[in-house]
Chain A
């Protein structure tokens, strides 16, 4: 018999070692998230996945599942916090969605729609973040980086290359590439790298394929992110069924 915890009043089974997020997704319950990716160790930085556990707010992607926890997620209080966090991320970078190649495929944008973020909320900071177009096949548009470290993790853990890293502290934190010149062309990145596929927003883009998929026919144009995230969710190892 598997243990369970309560998520918004519903019993969710979990395997030892799973976090609240992992168990919830595996059991077809959506909790908003941005820096969590089913193929990587939870990071816990965006805080979109904040839930209330026995009355205390916690990041569900890193919170180990435990039997008997009372977890609340789909409540207005938490969605209000999530909306503010999305507004913060939009205000921190330079996001001009109408002209963004990732529009429609962008998780940040999709979360904004899904959580019904209707206003800017904060003064935008308009940081100065020059592009890196040095590489023949790949463009880096740092303006949209939300510092989730997925590319850093993918490049180091999957590609074994360490092409990306984060530098600076606080408000000055930013993405850098692994080259004395500081330019992508002097790294060993390749189009086939995992790091090319994981960016939830529109920073790491292959060149010359822009807008080949028309806006309107993109991933989150079809249905909201909350209805799709479950497709990526890790399932119990084949053969193991939960009910």
Chain B
């Protein structure tokens, strides 16, 4: 488990890796499954993973050295080469862009004389972009040495530049920078619950595990992480699967751009989350649980560990929970390190085992062969919260909320062009128009439901309703008004998928990066009808042959915007049917400059 102390890291004077490394490795007891956690700590301590540290860890864990390189290079936040004493990452979701992050990044690069993606010559800093950090309602946002900073503006960037130049340790930066608001705009079943911690565990003490599962099944609760799998069926399958041990995993990777409701739940309802995990453990017969927390939310560690400890002290975790013989369960927190794919449940399990987060071949599924090949129930943060409420209210009362096929409530993360971005909780069945009106959105052109992998809907579809019957959603709700260019929205999402593809399978590894190149070509004004055909071809291959959900949905942003906003693409096309990727005339520009010529004879004619 990671220590709460020493949350500030990366400033070289404070860290003596040679002294700390032994301690870090010893604390992980040479467990190979802790390799990723160990590397995250080394990164935090030294700012990167030095060559000799990698060799030392390999020797201590008795693993090939190449495995360290292999694992570390998979995660964006781990570096095998020095990446600067200060590592600045601008969140680059479309919502950050709409709030002006690109200008701010340019300003900072100019101020500190550094190029994006490069380490400054004195080794002081690097500036780069990163995928959505989950602060869309209070962006533009950034991470500095892993610390989330919100509400950036020109003034704040100026100040941060000064602090870096003066080598002020991040721990001494103004606390206001790191303030993360909850922005709860509308409560409901979950956010307004009045449960005391431990209350539902107490109340279900005498209830048999099979009855717990029956209640969850009867409540029609379906997973809130995106796929909407019936939770009761999952728990039952896990309970019935053969294995030596069973595990409960809470998926707090929340990587889908535009989603931040799990952050707010972990901040305001941590007890409910852990209570749900403990009830699940009782139902399936697990002794150990994991919360897989995305690296971007590392700042929540102290708070979460405190809640866990309080629950241990109150007999709600640990051995003989609430005095019940044999009801032993505890929760460990594992951190991610900048890889969206680790939200996919089998990739998450690989990552929990300390490996590269590559999705497994399925079947077998995690419920029978999950963590260490044992039966594992993986559920989203919100699903565990909903499960507690369902058990508290009883199946029928819970089912009465929402719609026929979508029972209960849903937390929606609203961001983009609206007056009040933040968290809204609604019973399922709420219309898009209702949410738009509640959040104060005007002149709305489109809404991206459930993030880049979800769907983009236009104005004529705003009567559609959130729920598994119509518009399933993991919770993201990004609003675009009529000043926005939907082609640029799609291009941002395409870049996201190319950056986050794990690279395992051919279609996604190659296809997402080709899609990105083609979208960039169209953006630069060199696109042709031929490129649109190529985009459609790539989309088809991605959709039909990819290994996991990432590749299979990576084409959605383009497919949906092409369907609704085709003119946004077509106005960018050259009339030519084919445009070579190589610009011959452009290549002559240097020669023209050197010879001082710019007459017609010094140009290649178009259409030749």
Contacts and interface: CB of A to CB of B under 8 A. Distances in A.
Contact of B64 (A48, A162, A169): A162
A117 interface: no
B34 to A, nearest CB: 19
A9 interface: no
B544 A50 contact: yes
A237 interface: no
Interface size class of A (residues with CB under 8 A): 35 or more
Given A89-B510, A180-B55, A169 B73 contact: yes
Contact of B69 (A81, A173, A176): A176
A180 B80 CA distance: 12
A172 interface: yes
A173 B503 contact: yes
The contact size tier of chain B is: 35 or more
B501 A171 contact: yes
Contact of B506 (A42, A47, A180): A47
A88 B69 contact: no
A170 B513 contact: yes
B507 interface: yes
B360 to A, nearest CB: 9
Nearest to A47: B545
Contact of A44 (B74, B75, B547, B581): B547
Interface string A135-179: 000000000001100000000000000101111111111001111
B170 interface: no
Nearest to A162: B64
Contacts of B75: 169
Name the residue among A47, A64, A92, A176 with the largest chain B CB count within 10 angstroms. Answer: A47
A88 B545 contact: no
Interface string A25-55: 0000000000000000010111110100000
B361 interface: yes
Given A165-B64, A176-B69, A178-B65, 16 more contacts: A45-B505, A46-B505, A47-B507, A50-B545, A57-B544, A59-B361, A59-B547, A91-B510, A123-B514, A125-B513, A165-B69, A167-B69, A169-B501, A172-B503, A173-B503, A180-B51
Contact of A123 (B74, B500, B517, B545): B517
A18 interface: no
A170 B500 contact: yes
A147 B70 CA distance: 13
A171 B505 CA distance: 10
Interface of B: 51, 54-55, 64-67, 69-70, 73-76, 339, 356, 361, 363, 498-507, 509-514, 517, 534, 537, 540-541, 544-547, 581
Given A88-B507, A91-B510, A171-B510, A165 B66 contact: yes
A118 to B, nearest CB: 16
Nearest to B551: A47
Interface of A: 42, 44-48, 50, 57, 59, 62, 64, 81, 84-85, 88-89, 91-92, 122-123, 125, 146-147, 162, 164-173, 176-180
A42 B507 CA distance: 18
Contacts of A164: 66
B65 A180 contact: yes
Contacts of B545: 47, 50, 57, 81, 85
A146 B510 CA distance: 11
A88 B511 contact: yes
A81 B545 CA distance: 8
A169 B339 CA distance: 9
Given A88-B511, A169-B73, A180-B51, A46 B506 contact: yes
A176 to B, nearest CB: 6
A170 B505 CA distance: 9
Contacts of B517: 123
Contact of B509 (A62, A123, A170, A178): A170
A233 B546 CA distance: 26
B547 to A, nearest CB: 7
Nearest to B544: A57
B521 to A, nearest CB: 9
Contacts of B64: 162, 165, 178
A162 B541 CA distance: 33
23 contacts: A45-B505, A47-B546, A50-B544, A62-B361, A64-B363, A85-B506, A85-B541, A85-B545, A88-B507, A91-B510, A146-B506, A147-B503, A165-B66, A165-B69, A165-B70, A167-B69, A168-B73, A168-B74, A170-B513, A171-B512, A176-B70, A177-B66, A178-B66
A57 B551 CA distance: 14
A146 B363 CA distance: 25
Given A45-B505, A176-B69, A169 B74 contact: yes
B66 A169 contact: no
B510 A45 contact: no
Contacts of B69: 165, 167, 176
Nearest to B508: A170
A179 B65 contact: yes
Contacts of A125: 513
Given A166-B70, A176-B66, A178-B65, A88 B361 contact: no
Chain B CB within 10 Å, residue with most, of A57, A89, A170, A171: A170
B502 A170 contact: yes
A15 B321 CA distance: 46
Nearest to A86: B506
A98 B499 CA distance: 33
B498 A171 contact: yes
B505 A47 contact: yes
Contacts of A57: 544-545
A171 B503 contact: yes
Given A44-B547, A64-B363, A85 B70 contact: no
Nearest to B73: A167
A44 B70 contact: no
Nearest to B72: A167
B73 A122 contact: no
Nearest to B517: A123
A165 B54 CA distance: 15
A160 to B, nearest CB: 11
Nearest to B339: A169
A108 to B, nearest CB: 11
Contacts of A81: 540-541, 544-545
A45 B504 contact: yes
Contact of A88 (B65, B73, B510): B510
Nearest to B71: A167
Interface centre among B76, B503, B505, B510 (most CB of A within 10 A): B510
A11 B363 CA distance: 23
Contacts of B66: 162, 164-165, 167, 176-179
Contacts of A45: 504-506, 547
